[in-house]
Structure 1
Amino acid sequence: MAETEEQIKARKARERDELYALDISGVTWQSAPGTEEDEERVEIAYLPDGAVAMRSSLDPGTVLRYTEAEWRAFVLGARDGEFDLEPAPRNGGRAADV
């Protein structure tokens, strides 16, 4: 039997609550190779059941957490170009170069 929309929302709320209840004080944070300690970078930590935590090196106290399904959807979307920046209209370069 398929879950109703209400059941899906309730399940996702439970999953989110459980994920944010995890003690992650001892996790190992990883960042892209070649980044310096004082550089701004995105850091991730792998959590139980395929979940992932993500933070900015400049704000390590703010941590976002994703279930395995959410992380998989994000990674697949990034690989597929869903998050590619559009060229900036004023200089023809990438928006990140502005």
Structure 2
Amino acid sequence: MVGMSIFSKDRSVELRMQDDGKLAIYYNNRCAWQSTDQQISNAKGAIMQGDGNFCIYDKNGKATWHTNTAAPTGDNKTFVSVQDDGNLVLYKNGGATPIWSSKSNK
């Protein structure tokens, strides 16, 4: 949801759903990565979908950004991880296979 954050295990990396509709990674009080350059005034939040796609939705239910990782048959074992190294990573197969990364290493 907008205004909420989740943190890496050691709490040094913050994934924040900002009021401007951008998903952002912060460490050392600086923004290291943003999901988009566009501002989305009516953003609702981000969700890890059952099909393996990580998306930001607006209040009307429209996807405004996504990782483009949806599997045709779905992959309910896909999850998102905020890592201590500064990356946001999507894993499938219960964590065995990385399928997307923000490439925002510290």
TM-score by length of 2: 0.30
Query: Which one has a larger percent strand, Structure 1 or Structure 2?
Result: 2
Query: Which one has a larger percent helix, Structure 1 or Structure 2?
Result: 1
Query: Which one has more relative contact order, counting CA pairs under 8 Å at least 6 apart?
Result: 2
